[in-house]
């Protein structure tokens, strides 16, 4: 009997005998290494037998699993691993099919140890680079099974952790095996990503308290490798790092869905951590794709709770800071348009108190949550703006300015609760956004960076009665002008005895700055003056006015500007002395303090000793007799001001004549210094961006009337004498005021006069112009000379007679 069995055993194929010989009688002894070497050598010598070896090993493993002989199962898997590592021939594909079949058998088993064993073998296989492609291999089962293992809920926590880590390693192996092989099933398809990404996020969330690491994490220690959260993060980073341009959306969408389904936006911490990992792991040139997906998700959640929207905006804020210049991408204004739209929606929700939600009906709004959302949106707008170059930031500033509802300029944007309060809230929020954008804004050419279409409406807000809006405008102006970071040194108003301690950065005024001031200086002075006389102005307003005056002196001042700024400061002193404006006592003291602090600064900047001495004497006198006229007693928590403000004269005031005299000796324009500053009340009060048609016509008429040749003819030549020059100097101020008044009347006429009257006036001028043109044509265009000669008029003048061509007599030489 035994002999027959031995004879049959000898007839078995050699590969089966070699496979059988690697299994010892006692599985605890482990793999028989000597026989394993023989099997490996045989497989390398006869690669065509490799698939049969794999099939037979698979058959034995299935039988051992069914009989619960787990020792032999481990030996079979070890043998398969060694064969797989040793053999890279063309027949490897058929062997791999048997190998994957055995791994699948282990993963389907109920025993955790078998699942972990199968996973470890699959990970070893995933790290092998195959020499030959595979056209028919599928990994769908492995993606599903490894994802399921990632969500294991085994009772024993240690075993549960091991199963989850095995699932994570398995997914990592699937990604490595398929991501770079075009012949494999596309792992980036939504059907796979919807399983892989949530499984990773589930384990990442279980390790709360660990912070996201730097963009290039160091090699983790053994202790970290035992943590599912750390292993998950490394796997997630590897997955995202392999994502190409077209795969970013499929990788990020499951993240958004996971955060939605588990209400993780409200906590913000985990959502921010996830997107930090994403932004640090993907290629930098793809950053804007993630930003666009977040913006689209924000649109999709426009009717979600304020905490959810705020969470998405906070994630946007962090993502933009990481992505830097690549965060906005090609659609710059679309990013800001989306954020501004949600800012507007939040304001509407706050004012109406509720909104209609398709799923749960009417939802009540919590005002403080909407305020938090609005602040988050404003910070995010600033964060995006900081990533832009100067020219694009200028475009964004113009874009935001165009969104602000301005009375008389363009109609209010549509709103669910349109009204004055809505307009005011929108103005405040958009101006705050604009302030955030202008923080750190630096440009070498103010004229091109801040065109009229931006400055005119911005300055118009300085005329509104709303104190908060005026303060925002002043803060924006200060941010725009401060290009050398001098603003922190002027954050408070005080009398500085020696400004050298401030270490101010002052550059010579450039040609572009001179052009900018030549064009806009009078508007700036006017708004500074008018803001100072507003009764609702408080300490922050005066501090920003002081900063604005100081920064103009540092950044944009030439000799003419310095003279005008001194005139404005003296005009502010006169404003505080005047009783006609009916200013409260506090405001009058504050304006006095503002004027004294600025004159103290500008006197030291001009470095004219006599000017500095005069300012110092007045300040000393005020410190002795009227300290309530200085900032140290006014701009404090409890201002020390009197009940009334009277009898201020003499040495307590800065004298314009004295200042003119001392500065005139240093070469400054004494005539201009001696002229009191009077703000130009122009058509700007209408808060209009552009001039009306009537104003344009009136300016044309004015220019024509001044340049008319008839006017020049009527004006007799005047002999220039010493008395003429003297009278011209004395009367120049009056003539200038008369000219301004005449221009104002012309503008007013074309704005207020009936249309018929304006049309008749323009028609008359057009008729006069046509008559002049006819005279010119008669002089310059004469009829051709007639061969028949000339005729004599009744007045004795010779005239050319026009003869028809057919009656003309031409010389013979001219006819052919």
The pLDDT assigned to 11 comes to: 63
* Final residue of a structural domain among 639, 656, 684: 684
- From the list 335, 358, 351, the residue with the least C-alpha distance to 289 is 335
d(CA 406, CA 385): 23
Is the CA virtual torsion 263, 268, 269, 270 positive or negative?
positive
Contact partners, residue 78, CB within 8 Å, separation at least 6: 31
Q: How many CB atoms lie within 10 A of CB 8?
A: 9
The residue among 132, 166, 185 that closes a domain is 132
What end-to-end distance do the CA atoms of the chain give, in Å? Answer: 141
Residue 789's pLDDT is what? 47
Burial class, 105, CB count within 10 angstroms (exposed 0-12 / middle 13-18 / buried 19+): middle
* Nearest one of 371, 392, 402 to 327, comparing CA atoms: 392
Residues 306-340, buried b or exposed e (16+ Cβ, 10 A)?
bbbbbbbbbbbbbbbbbbeebbbbeebeebbebbb
What pLDDT, on a 0 to 100 scale, did the predictor assign at position 77? Answer: 86
Angle between helices 157-178 and 228-241 (to 10 degrees): 10
Q: For residue 29, give its domain range.
A: 1-132
Distance CA 666, CA 610 (A): 10
Please, are residues 291 and 316 in contact by the beta-carbon 8 Å criterion?
A: yes
Owner of token pair 């050598």 = 41
Give residues with Cβ within 8 angstroms of 414, minimum separation 6.
none
Contact yes or no for 277/212 (Cβ under 8 A): yes
pLDDT at 252: 95
Residue 231 inside a domain? The answer is no
Q: 665 Cβ partners below 8 Å, 6+ apart? A: 610
Q: Residue 110 has what pLDDT?
A: 87
Q: What is the pTM of this model?
A: 0.72
Residue 798 main-chain phi, psi, to 5 deg = -80, 135
Enumerate the β-bridge partners of residue 799.
791
Looking up tokens 């303060």, which residue turns up? 471
Instruction: Give the whole-angstrom CA distance, residue 452 versus residue 156.
Output: 72
Residue with tokens 């200086």: 521
- In the structure encoding, which two tokens stand for residue 137, read together? 């291999």
Q: Let me know if residue 213 belongs to a domain.
A: no
d(CA 569, CA 589): 14
What's the total number of domains in the chain?
Answer: 2
Residue where a domain stops, chosen among 638, 668, 684: 684
Is residue 466 classed as helix, strand or coil in its secondary structure?
Answer: coil
> Domain for residue 114, yes or no?
yes
Does a structural domain hold residue 557? yes
For 685-698, give one letter per residue: b (16+ CB within 10 A) or e.
eebbbeeeebbebb
Classify residue 607: in a domain, yes or no: yes
Stretch (H or E) spanning 458: helix 452-461
Return the closest-CA partner of residue 125 out of 136, 135, 137, 113. Answer: 137
pLDDT the model gives residue 420: 75
- Please list the alpha-helical segments (H only) found in 482-532: 511-532
Position 195 in a domain: no
Backbone angles phi, psi at 153, to 5 degrees: -120, 40
Number of H helices, E strands in the chain: 35, 4
* Residue 358 resides in a domain: no
CA distance 253 to 501: 56
pLDDT at position 730: 58
3-state SS, one letter per residue, for 626-695: CHHHCHHHHCCCCCCCCCCCCCCCHHHCCCHHHHHHHHHCCCCCHHHHHCCCCCCCCHHHHCCCCCCHHH
- What confidence score (pLDDT) does residue 328 get? 59
Cα 28 from Cα 49, distance rounded (Å): 29
3-state secondary structure labels for all residues of 123-191? HHHHCCCCCCCCCCCCCHHHHHHHHHHHCCCCCCHHHHHHHHHHHHHHHHHHHHHHCCCCCCCCCCCHH
* Residues 166/120, Cβ–Cβ less than 8 Å: yes
Please, what are the averages of pLDDT over each run of 10 residues along the chain (816 residues)? 46 81 81 84 80 84 85 86 73 74 89 91 83 71 94 91 94 85 73 94 76 44 63 93 90 95 89 94 89 93 91 91 65 86 90 66 76 92 87 89 72 50 89 91 83 89 88 93 89 89 84 90 92 92 94 90 94 89 90 95 92 94 92 91 82 92 89 88 45 36 41 46 63 68 78 75 75 76 50 44 54 54
The token duo for 3 is 């002999």
3-state secondary structure 311-365: HHHHHHHHHHHHHHHHCCCCCHHHHHHHHHHHHHHHHHHHHHCEEEECCCEEEEC
CB-based contact 137:189 (threshold 8 Å): no
pLDDT at 359: 53
Taking the C-alpha atoms of residue 664 and residue 578, their distance in angstroms, rounded to an integer, is 27
What is the DSSP secondary structure assignment for residue 69, as one 8-state letter? Answer: -
Q: Is 13 within the bounds of a domain? A: yes
CB distance 364 to 354 below 8 Å:
yes
d(CA 375, CA 378) in angstroms, rounded, equals 5
Q: Is 24 helix (H, G, I), strand (E, B) or coil?
A: coil
Element (H, E) at 82: helix 70-86
């Amino acid at each position: 009997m035994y002999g027959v069995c031995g004879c049959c055993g000898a007839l078995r194929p050699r590969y089966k005998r070699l496979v059988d010989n690697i299994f010892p009688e006692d599985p605890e002894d482990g793999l028989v290494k000597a026989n394993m070497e023989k099997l490996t050598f045989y497989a390398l010598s006869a690669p065509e037998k490799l698939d049969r070896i794999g099939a037979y090993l698979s058959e034995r493993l299935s039988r051992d699993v069914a009989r619960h002989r787990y020792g032999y199962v481990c030996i079979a898997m070890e043998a398969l691993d060694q064969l797989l590592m040793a053999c890279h021939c063309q027949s490897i594909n058929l062997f791999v099919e048997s190998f994957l079949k055995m791994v699948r058998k282990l993963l389907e088993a109920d025993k955790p140890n078998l699942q972990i064993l199968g996973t470890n073998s699959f990970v070893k296989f995933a790290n092998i680079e195959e020499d030959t492609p595979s056209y028919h291999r599928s990994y769908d089962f492995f993606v599903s099974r490894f994802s399921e293992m990632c969500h294991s809920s085994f009772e024993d926590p240690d075993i549960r952790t091991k199963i989850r880590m095995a699932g994570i390693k398995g997914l990592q192996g699937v990604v490595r095996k398929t991501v770079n092989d075009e012949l494999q099933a596309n792992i980036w398809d939504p059907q796979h990503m919807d399983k892989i990404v949530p499984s990773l996020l589930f384990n990442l969330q279980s390790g709360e308290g660990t912070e996201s690491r730097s963009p290039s994490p160091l090699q983790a220690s053994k202790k970290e490798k035992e943590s599912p959260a750390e292993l998950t993060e490394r796997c997630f980073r590897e997955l995202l790092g392999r994502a190409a341009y077209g795969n970013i959306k499929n990788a990020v969408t499951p993240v958004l869905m996971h955060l939605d389904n588990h209400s993780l936006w409200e906590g913000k911490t985990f959502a921010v951590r996830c997107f930090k990992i994403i932004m640090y792991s993907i290629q930098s040139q793809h950053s804007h794709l993630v930003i666009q997906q977040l913006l689209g998700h924000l649109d999709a959640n426009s009717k979600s709770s304020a905490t959810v929207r705020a969470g998405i905006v906070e994630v946007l804020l962090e993502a933009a800071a990481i992505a830097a210049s690549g965060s906005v991408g090609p659609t710059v204004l679309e990013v800001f348009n989306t954020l501004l739209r949600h800012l507007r929606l939040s304001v509407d929700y706050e004012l109406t108190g509720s909104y209609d939600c398709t799923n749960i009906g009417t939802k009540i709004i919590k005002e403080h949550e909407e305020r938090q959302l609005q602040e988050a949106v404003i910070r995010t707008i600033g964060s995006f703006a900081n990533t832009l170059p100067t020219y694009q930031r200028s475009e964004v500033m113009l874009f935001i300015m165009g969104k602000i509802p301005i009375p008389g300029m363009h109609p209010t944007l549509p709103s669910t609760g349109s009204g004055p309060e809505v307009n005011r809230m929108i103005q405040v929020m958009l101006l705050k956004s604009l302030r955030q954008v202008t923080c750190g804004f630096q440009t070498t050419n103010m004229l091109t960076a801040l065109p009229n279409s931006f400055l005119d409406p911005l300055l118009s807000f300085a005329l509104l009665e709303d104190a908060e809006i005026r303060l925002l405008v002043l803060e924006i102006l200060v941010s725009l002008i401060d290009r050398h970071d001098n603003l922190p040194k002027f954050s408070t108003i005080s009398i500085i005895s020696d400004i050298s301690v401030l270490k101010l950065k002052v550059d010579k005024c450039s040609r572009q700055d001179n052009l900018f001031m030549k064009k806009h200086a009078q508007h700036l002075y006017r708004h500074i003056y008018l803001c100072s006389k507003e009764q609702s102005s408080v300490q922050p307003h005066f501090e920003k006015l002081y900063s604005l005056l100081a920064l103009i002196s540092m950044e944009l001042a030439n000799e003419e500007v310095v003279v005008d700024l001194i005139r404005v400061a003296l005009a502010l002193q006169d404003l505080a002395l005047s009783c006609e404006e009916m200013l409260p006592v506090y405001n009058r003291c504050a304006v006095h303090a503002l004027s004294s602090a600025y004159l103290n600064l500008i006197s030291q900047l001009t470095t004219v000793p006599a000017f500095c001495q005069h300012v110092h004497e007045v300040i000393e006198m005020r410190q002795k007799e009227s300290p309530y006229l200085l900032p140290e007693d006014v701009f404090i928590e409890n201002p020390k001001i009197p009940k009334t403000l009277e009898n201020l004269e003499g040495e307590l005031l800065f004298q314009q004549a004295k200042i003119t005299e001392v500065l005139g000796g240093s070469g400054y324009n004494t005539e201009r210094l001696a002229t009191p500053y009077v703000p130009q009340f122009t058509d700007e009060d209408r808060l209009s961006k552009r001039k009306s048609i009537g104003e344009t016509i009136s300016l044309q008429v004015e220019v024509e009337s001044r340049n008319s040749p008839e006017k020049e003819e009527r004006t007799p030549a005047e002999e220039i004498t010493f008395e003429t020059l003297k009278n011209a100097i004395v009367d120049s101020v009056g003539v200038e005021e008369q000219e301004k008044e005449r221009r104002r009347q012309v503008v007013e006429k074309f704005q207020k006069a009936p249309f018929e009257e304006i049309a008749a006036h323009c028609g008359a001028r057009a008729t006069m112009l046509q008559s002049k043109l006819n005279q010119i044509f008669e002089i310059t265009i004469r009829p051709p000379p007639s061969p028949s000669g000339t005729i004599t008029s009744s007045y004795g003048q010779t005239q050319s007679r026009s003869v028809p061509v057919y009656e003309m007599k031409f010389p013979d030489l001219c006819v052919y």
